[in-house]
Structure 1
Amino acid sequence: MSIQGMSIQGLGVPGLLVAAPRSSSGKTTVTLALMRALARRGLRVRGAKCGPDYIDPAFHAAATGHPSFNLDSFAMGPGLLDAVAGLASEEADIVVTEGSMGLFDGVRAGEGRTGANADIAARYGWPVLLVLDVSGAAQSAAAVALGCARYDPRVRIAGVVLNKVASIRHRRLVEAGLAQVGIPVLGVLMRDAGLVLPERHLGLVQARETADLDARLDRLGDLAEQGLDLDAILSAAAGGAPPSSAAILPRPPGQRIAVAADAAFSFLYPHQAAGWRAQGAEIVPFSPLADEAPAGDCDVCWLPGGYPELHAGRLAGAGRFLDGLRAFAREKPVHGECGGYMVLGESLEDAAGTAHPMARLLPVATSYKARKLHLGYRVAHLCADGVLGGAGARLVGHEFHYASELTSPPGRAEAFARVADADGADLGFAGHRRGRVTGTFFHMIAMDAG
């Protein structure tokens, strides 16, 4: 057992990490298929996701019936990382973790702190189930797998799942190459456009919006039972995380927290909510799309990110919500992240160019008409005391959106924080604060992460 960068193998519940050499290889398909098939066997399957992602964990939860947690070796300090990995392992027989991007893709940082999938696999001793999209390749796929197996000695490749196999002949050619380098094939999925889940600009359509989700998951489970060697995959599971510690999980911003929760506001990290509850806080959900206001007896209101740009007209017409939010803000703190930040602003312009009035609690106007991707980790230091900490407090999170600010950038007097990227490059002041109201485009993952 060790501190950052080293492994904590042999503790707790065994697991596997489903990863790939690159994005769009089929990791989510294989992960959900495996989860559903193992759950059908009566196993207590728990899920996790490497890196900052809200959407995949919701699909994991639908497949397993239990929350799925994010594990981020850059944004989370070692203590928080272990506490969240422990949460993901509670009352489980196996933990199935889905990677993001490529297996070794991350930022430039110290060993074990790059945000790469490989950091998580190494730290907890979880073998990697490598998904290979073999469309357009045959024996050459073995060279890619061999490179992944040898690139980082901390990581063990348990075997591969071949995805998008075109024919029996194609399969035999790919398997021949892998046999030559001694890497076992633990599953095969034939090319099937029907396996693709619907997507939108931030990734998959949310689980709650996916039509016939249970039927889709059951079909994936059927394919796993037909195409994956489930016994061999189960036998390969190993490693484990230490027990979770509630004291290390995120601190609640209040005793009773009003949280916007519906199709427009759904991006609240599971480890954040679990930490708040573990430390005695109560989360009181309300739906702005149903024109509900935050409960007046709450201590703080939290507007998570989501897709308010898809519901801007409806939100603009939600008078009880907007009036109730303004009344709440006169007496108590309100914080918004990304989509929540946009709703706290003056207006939100949708993709068609129509500007919809918002809560007008912060001096910012945003637009989706001219899309521009803003993506990356953010390391922030608060400009003033607030609900998330004192002036100078350090937060680590990420930004992922296509909206543009139409108003001028904030100065220190009105900014929420000074931010830098993962390389330490100064990005200037970000977000806004006015009275008890704060907001920012970046989503917080950890506070005081070191």
Structure 2
Amino acid sequence: MSDAPGIMISAPSSGTGKTTVMLGLLRALADDGMRVQPFKSGPDYIDPAFHLAAAGRASFNLDTWAMGDGLLNAIAAQAKGAEICVAEGSMGLYDGVATRGQSGFGTSAETALRMGWPVVLVVDVSGQAQSAAAAALGFRMYNPDVPFAGVILNRVASPRHERLTALGMEKAGLTVLGALPRRGDLTLPERHLGLIQAVEHPDLEAAITGYATFLREHVDIDAIKSAARGKGAGQGGRLPPPPAQRIALAQDAAFSFTYPHLVEGWRAAGAEVLPFSPLADEAPDPGADLVWLPGGYPELHAGRLAAANTFRTGLRHHAETRPVHGECGGYMALGAALIDKEGQRHAMAGLLGLVTSYEKRKFHLGYRQAVLHAPLPGHAPGARLRGHEYHYSTILEQPDAPLAAVGDADGNPVPETGSYRGHVSGTFFHLITAEEEA
């Protein structure tokens, strides 16, 4: 359990600069000698690795749609020993899904309200001045129960622009915690799924150091510290248990998206996690009970994976007698072939008949709820799972039996059912939790 106070960095919408503020604040607080616990509200796979780089402490997702109270308590308890919690919101403050999930709709506002963390709203004020206060006040009053610390003005064009905008905020009764001048270099590299992965950033340390310096120059860090509040982690709940005792977990630039609370739960329960790199042509540990291939970007490394004979031989040998599971990119790598954006076909592991194409791009995004037809490691047939899907690949062939009945957040069926063959299974959704683990 942790009673560390916290804050929620959120915004009216995506693309307002909250990730820059988040990373700069994490590093500035850490540089001040504070033990900082980062969190991410919602199902984002990429941001937690950036948080870890900035704070030096693993970041965890808090998701009120997918997670029940018990799991939320267990994840909040990972802040044990921290002096302050800093959470980054997803999308806009009140953006969620159409139907209520285990604890809510999945909004950052719900996370802030449940944890008692006041919201710091990062407002892009480009193209407006006093009018920005009207929008910010709307966010403050939309749900008056959500704790609110104040605003950070972003992309300020000039000292005059700052004065006029701050005047509007003062009139609206909103505390201005900082004003960030417009700077084109304060953006993180992006590609088709949003930000690049932290491990791929050409100079992440220099970038985060720059963000921290920028924030110190233009934001009242002490005021943000003073605004932090919190309810602490509630009693009860546990992290998801491990699906096996010895788990070979693929970890490299092609396979990197596993929810941190899952791996932490595996380790906390005494499981041994055995990392290996398919891109380095490493086979999974021959003594592993389970091989788990996370999501990632195999489509960017398809040629290297097709040539990774040691990896594929080891994987096939394991699958003869023991389970193998892949999520999203890992699922694609278990299939027969992957077609890259140039239309070139690359042979994959061939443990499933799945053929996917990144040439025929189609955006798949959203929460998923699944009822298993067959076992998935750690879960029996009939188990109800919650997850999230986010990719551009298209299924061309899926000849194997469907793994689950899969629906979106509203329960509408989706065609990406996953599949299984023998000891091998795969899903396009990333597992967050089983409903009974909530």
Match of 1:350 in 2: 340
Match of 2:305 in 1: 315
Match of 1:334 in 2: 324
Match of 1:261 in 2: 251
**Contact 1:55–1:204 (Cα < 8 Å) also in 2:** yes
CA-to-aligned-CA distance 1:343-364 (integer Å, 9 cap, x gap): 0000000111101000011111
Match of 1:196 in 2: 187
**C-alpha displacement of 1:243:** 6.3
Match of 1:3 in 2: none
CA-to-aligned-CA distance 1:361-384 (integer Å, 9 cap, x gap): 111100100211000000001002
**C-alpha displacement of 1:408:** 4.6
CA distance in 2, matches of 1:100, 1:429: 24
| Residue 119 of structure 1, aligned match among 110, 116, 137 | 110
Match of 1:442 in 2: 429
CA distance in 2, matches of 1:207, 1:428: 31
CA distance in 1, matches of 2:398, 2:3: 51
- For structure 2, the 5+ residue unaligned runs are none
Q: Which residue identity is paired with 1:443?
A: H
TM-score scaled by structure 1? 0.94
CA distance in 2, matches of 1:363, 1:408: 6
The verdict on how the C-alpha distance between 1:409 and 1:332 changes in structure 2, with shifts beyond 3 A counting, is closer
CA distance in 2, matches of 1:405, 1:263: 23
For residue 163 of structure 1, give the secondary structure of its aligned residue in structure 2.
Answer: strand
Match of 2:385 in 1: 395
CA RMSD across the alignment: 1.5
CA distance in 1, matches of 2:399, 2:238: 34
Match of 2:412 in 1: 425
**C-alpha displacement of 1:240:** 3.4
CA distance in 1, matches of 2:316, 2:182: 52
CA distance in 2, matches of 1:352, 1:345: 19
**Contact 1:409–1:430 (Cα < 8 Å) also in 2:** no
CA-to-aligned-CA distance 1:270-293 (integer Å, 9 cap, x gap): 100000001110100000000001
**C-alpha displacement of 1:110:** 4.0
CA distance in 2, matches of 1:200, 1:427: 25
Is 2:403 the counterpart of 1:416? Answer: yes
For residue 424 of structure 1, give the secondary structure of its aligned residue in structure 2.
Answer: coil
Match of 1:4 in 2: none
Q: Which residue identity is paired with 1:29?
A: T
Q: Which residue identity is paired with 1:101?
A: M
**C-alpha displacement of 1:188:** 1.0
The verdict on how the C-alpha distance between 1:408 and 1:342 changes in structure 2, with shifts beyond 3 A counting, is closer
Is 2:39 the counterpart of 1:52? Answer: no
For residue 216 of structure 2, give the secondary structure of its aligned residue in structure 1.
Answer: helix
| Residue 369 of structure 1, aligned match among 346, 359, 375 | 359
CA distance in 2, matches of 1:260, 1:390: 23
CA distance in 1, matches of 2:3, 2:166: 34
Q: Which residue identity is paired with 1:315?
A: L
**Contact 2:402–2:419 (Cα < 8 Å) also in 1:** yes
Q: Which residue identity is paired with 2:393?
A: A
**Contact 2:242–2:269 (Cα < 8 Å) also in 1:** yes
Is 2:276 the counterpart of 1:286? Answer: yes
The verdict on how the C-alpha distance between 1:195 and 1:428 changes in structure 2, with shifts beyond 3 A counting, is closer
The verdict on how the C-alpha distance between 1:429 and 1:391 changes in structure 2, with shifts beyond 3 A counting, is farther
**Contact 1:39–1:45 (Cα < 8 Å) also in 2:** yes
For residue 63 of structure 1, give the secondary structure of its aligned residue in structure 2.
Answer: helix
Is 2:89 the counterpart of 1:99? Answer: yes
CA distance in 2, matches of 1:265, 1:60: 18
For residue 395 of structure 1, give the secondary structure of its aligned residue in structure 2.
Answer: strand
| Residue 31 of structure 2, aligned match among 40, 46, 49 | 40
**Contact 1:121–1:128 (Cα < 8 Å) also in 2:** yes
Match of 2:18 in 1: 27
Q: Which residue identity is paired with 2:257?
A: F
Identical amino acids, percent of aligned pairs: 56
CA distance in 1, matches of 2:376, 2:148: 46
CA distance in 2, matches of 1:182, 1:232: 16
Alignment of structure 1 residues 125-140 onto 2, 5 Å: 125-140=116-131
For residue 285 of structure 1, give the secondary structure of its aligned residue in structure 2.
Answer: strand
Is 2:372 the counterpart of 1:385? Answer: no
**Contact 1:381–1:395 (Cα < 8 Å) also in 2:** yes
Structure 1 segments (4+ residues) deviating >6 Å: none
CA-to-aligned-CA distance 1:47-95 (integer Å, 9 cap, x gap): 00011111111000000111000000001111101111111x1210100
Moved more, 294-303 or 210-219: 210-219
Match of 1:158 in 2: 149
For residue 49 of structure 1, give the secondary structure of its aligned residue in structure 2.
Answer: strand
**C-alpha displacement of 1:108:** 2.8
CA-to-aligned-CA distance 1:297-329 (integer Å, 9 cap, x gap): 010000000011100000000000011100010
- For structure 1, the 5+ residue unaligned runs are 1-9
Match of 1:7 in 2: none
**Contact 1:363–1:432 (Cα < 8 Å) also in 2:** no
**Contact 2:398–2:419 (Cα < 8 Å) also in 1:** no
CA distance in 2, matches of 1:43, 1:375: 36
**Contact 1:16–1:97 (Cα < 8 Å) also in 2:** yes
**Contact 1:416–1:430 (Cα < 8 Å) also in 2:** yes
Q: Which residue identity is paired with 2:409?
A: A
CA-to-aligned-CA distance 1:377-413 (integer Å, 9 cap, x gap): 0000100234231111011001000000011576xxx
CA distance in 1, matches of 2:360, 2:126: 34
**Contact 2:11–2:91 (Cα < 8 Å) also in 1:** yes
For residue 283 of structure 1, give the secondary structure of its aligned residue in structure 2.
Answer: strand
Alignment of structure 1 residues 200-279 onto 2, 5 Å: 200-242=191-233, 248-279=238-269
TM-score scaled by structure 2? 0.97
**C-alpha displacement of 1:429:** 6.4
CA distance in 1, matches of 2:403, 2:265: 23
| Residue 287 of structure 2, aligned match among 294, 297, 309 | 297
CA distance in 2, matches of 1:109, 1:228: 37
Number of aligned residue pairs: give it: 436
